[in-house]
């Protein structure tokens, strides 16, 4: 019921009560004169109504106090309603922001997956493998080296050298394609970082968005990327200049790609928390130089 309906409801009652008081006020002098023909006596009698006037004044004051309390309650209810509306608007804005950010994440995911679908690897006999076939070829040719606790260090280093040389032969032969993939992957993850660090969402929601991206990329694809980074990091540790010459390897074959893929790998393995978020965001801004300043 709105205010106009409330007014229409009480206005006739107001007129009746007001009319009643006017009638009483009009006939009151005549009634007094009728019962008290001596005006001096009637005046004395009228003075006795002073206490009654005080009573009505007290009742009027009480009514004012009650009205103030009612208004106070109404104001409190209005504040509660406004607070609920603000919370609802906040939740609506948050939901909109989350949906918008998720949409942008999927766009970058499509971009990354397109780069993977166009990725081409050539085998030693020159056979081209594209997309998933290329990724699976790199994943199958891992040349991983295990190090049991009882394996001699020299033996482990020799096996690591052999493994790195075998992988570098594959990577060197496909240097341009790996670099092209590294650029696309890095660009997609850079946009993902911007969404994570510049979006006003909770930490768990940001982790969910990050995980949504990388889960859809797939652990096999990420495993290949991490292995390229690992080989680039370990080659100078286990290989000597003669190893490159003897095997016809270019020392800087995957260094350029490793620069881009390492940022992808680092963000993939990062677990955001309330404690490290500001530090990671600050490091990200510093890495951009003047672009964010």
Give pLDDT tens digits for 206-250: 898 899 899 999 999 999 999 999 999 998 889 988 999 999 888
Encoding tokens for residue 94?
A: 């948050």
Buried b (16+ CB within 10 A) or exposed e, 193-229: bebbbeeebeeebbbebbeebbeebeeebbebbbbbb
The pTM for the full model equals 0.68
Average pLDDT estimate for 149-159: 85
Give the CA dihedral 51, 52, 58, 62, nearest 10 degrees.
Answer: 160
Contacts of 179 (CB under 8 A, 6+ apart): 256, 257
Find out whether 177 and 119 touch, Cβ atoms under 8 Å. Answer: yes
* 244 vs 250: CA distance, rounded Å: 7
293 pLDDT more than 50 = no
Encoding tokens for residue 279?
A: 């530090």
Q: What is the pLDDT of residue 288?
A: 80
* 103 vs 63: CA distance, rounded Å: 59
Average pLDDT estimate for 68-95: 77
């Amino acid at each position: 019921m709105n205010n106009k309906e409330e007014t229409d409801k009480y206005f006739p009652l107001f007129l009746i009560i007001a009319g009643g008081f006017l009638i009483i006020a009009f006939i009151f002098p005549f009634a007094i004169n009728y019962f008290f023909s001596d005006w001096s006596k009637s005046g004395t009698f009228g003075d006795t109504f002073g206490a009654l006037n005080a009573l009505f004044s007290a009742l009027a004051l009480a009514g004012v106090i009650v009205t103030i309390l009612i208004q106070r309650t109404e104001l409190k209810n209005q504040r509660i309603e406004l607070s609920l509306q603000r919370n609802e608007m906040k939740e609506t804005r948050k939901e909109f922001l989350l949906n918008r950010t998720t949409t942008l994440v999927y766009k970058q995911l499509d971009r990354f997956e397109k780069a993977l679908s166009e990725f081409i690897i050539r085998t030693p006999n020159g056979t081209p493998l594209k997309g998933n076939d290329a990724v699976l070829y790199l994943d199958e040719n891992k040349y991983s080296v295990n190090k049991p606790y009882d394996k001699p260090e020299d033996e482990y280093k020799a096996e690591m050298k052999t493994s790195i040389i075998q992988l570098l032969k594959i990577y060197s032969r496909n240097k341009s394609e790996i670099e092209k993939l590294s650029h696309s992957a890095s660009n997609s993850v850079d946009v993902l970082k911007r969404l994570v660090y510049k979006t006003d969402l909770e930490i768990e929601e940001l982790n969910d968005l990050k995980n949504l991206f990388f889960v859809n990329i797939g652990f096999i694809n990420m495993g290949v990327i991490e292995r390229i980074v690992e080989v680039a990091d370990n080659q100078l540790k286990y290989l000597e200049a003669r190893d490159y010459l003897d095997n016809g390897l270019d020392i800087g074959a995957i260094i350029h790609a490793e620069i881009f893929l390492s940022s992808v790998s680092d963000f993939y393995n990062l677990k955001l928390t309330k404690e490290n978020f500001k530090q990671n965001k600050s490091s990200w801004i510093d890495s951009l130089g003047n672009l964010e300043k």
